[in-house]
């Protein structure tokens, strides 16, 4: 099936948040990402609405993974280019129904969960998803004004982690209030003036709060934090780590204590 101009316009519109929200769909590009989505769709853990693929590459997809996809378009590289967000267009893309997951405090009370306050860079968010996946963090909770998880740069930066890590948007003041009311677990927060993370006794359950790239953690959230932690610099001239790099160090140190 070939695409009409309206279809091309529609698929390209999913690059914008307002259209993703309006249609409850997002676009994934590239063989690695789409292949993961195809496997999850086959096992009914995700719903692919439409598959768009360069006609020269359809034979590379196992037929069983195509059986429950209602729309498959074999399209030209020119059409892929019109839809894609990349300078070098991918050969395959999928339109996926946005999954809606309910945040369950009971599920996170006995584990470590990352909490993000106003992270704005989509690449940082995607990298944080990838880090969380690598270190076995199953949930991330983010403020309502954190960048959209279905931004194309976030999706690509996550390297497939977007399909495995449970991501929730929440009003953080209410979320943290509820969390503190229901259990005694620590709420860690990253601060430049916090205690050296390498000298801290780190618990294996609770929340780890990370702040905005330039402003850090919001003042109104500071009151919820029971333990302020920091990553020491070993060079006087060094710039502070960005939020994604800091997340990697913090997650590694928490998980190292379990070895």
Q: How far is CA 232 from CA 162, 203, 229, 249, in A?
A: 30, 19, 10, 11
Q: Contact 140/109 with Cβ under 8 angstroms?
A: no
CATH number at residue 134: 3.40.1280.10
Same domain, 10 and 53: yes
Domain that holds residue 24: 5-97
Please tell me which residue, 144 or 3, carries the higher pLDDT value.
144
Q: Where are the alpha helices (DSSP H) in the chain?
A: 5-13, 17-23, 31-42, 77-83, 105-108, 122-134, 152-158, 172-182, 219-222, 243-256
Nearest to 244 by CA among 168, 175, 147, 173: 147
Q: Contact 181/152 with Cβ under 8 angstroms?
A: no
Please tell me which residue, 237 or 98, carries the higher pLDDT value.
98
Number of domains in the chain: 2
- According to the model, what pLDDT value does residue 101 have? 84
Q: Residue 179 has which token pair? A: 């969390």
Same domain, 143 and 192: yes
Residue after which a domain boundary falls, among 97, 126, 155: 97
Same domain, 132 and 250: yes
For residue range 52-109, list pLDDT tens digits in order.
Answer: 998 888 888 888 999 899 999 998 888 888 998 887 777 899 999 999 888 888 889 8
Same domain, 128 and 60: no
Decide if pLDDT at 111 tops 90: yes
Mean confidence (pLDDT) of the chain: 94
Same domain, 114 and 149: yes
Same domain, 186 and 250: yes
- Kindly indicate the confidence band of residue 1, based on its pLDDT and cuts at 50, 70 and 90: low
For residue range 5-57, list pLDDT tens digits in order.
Answer: 999 999 999 999 999 999 999 999 999 999 999 999 999 999 999 999 988 88
Same domain, 120 and 73: no
Question: What is the C-alpha to C-alpha distance for residues 123 and 147, in angstroms, rounded to an integer?
Answer: 10
CATH number at residue 12: 3.30.1330.30
User: Which neighbouring-strand residues pair with 208?
Assistant: 114, 188
Residue after which a domain boundary falls, among 67, 97, 127: 97
Q: Which residue has the tokens 């998980």?
A: 255
Same domain, 90 and 109: no
- According to the model, what pLDDT value does residue 66 have? 92
Same domain, 137 and 161: yes
Residue after which a domain boundary falls, among 97, 120, 148: 97
């Amino acid at each position: 099936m070939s695409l009409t101009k309206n279809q091309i316009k529609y698929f390209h519109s999913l690059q914008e948040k307002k259209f993703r929200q309006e249609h409850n769909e997002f676009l994934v590009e590239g063989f690695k990402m789409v292949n993961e989505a195809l496997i999850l769709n086959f096992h009914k853990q995700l719903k692919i609405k439409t598959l768009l693929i360069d006609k020269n590459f359809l034979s590379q997809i196992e037929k069983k993974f195509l059986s429950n996809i209602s729309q498959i378009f074999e399209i030209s590289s020119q059409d892929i280019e019109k839809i894609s967000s990349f300078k070098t267009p991918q050969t395959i893309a999928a339109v996926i129904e946005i999954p809606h997951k309910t945040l369950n405090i009971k599920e996170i009370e006995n584990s470590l969960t990352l909490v993000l306050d106003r992270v704005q860079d989509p690449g940082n968010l995607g990298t944080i998803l990838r880090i969380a996946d690598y270190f076995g963090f199953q949930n991330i909770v983010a403020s309502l004004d954190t960048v959209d998880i279905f931004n194309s740069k976030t999706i690509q930066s996550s390297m497939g982690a977007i399909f495995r890590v449970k991501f929730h948007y929440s009003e953080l003041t209410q979320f943290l209030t509820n969390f503190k009311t229901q259990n005694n677990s620590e709420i860690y927060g990253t601060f430049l003036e916090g205690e050296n993370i390498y000298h801290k006794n780190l618990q294996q359950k609770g929340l780890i709060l990370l702040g905005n790239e330039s402003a850090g953690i919001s003042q109104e959230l500071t009151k919820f934090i029971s333990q302020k932690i920091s990553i020491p610099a070993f060079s006087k001239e060094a710039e502070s780590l960005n939020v994604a790099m800091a997340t990697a160090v913090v997650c590694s140190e928490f998980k190292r204590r379990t070895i």
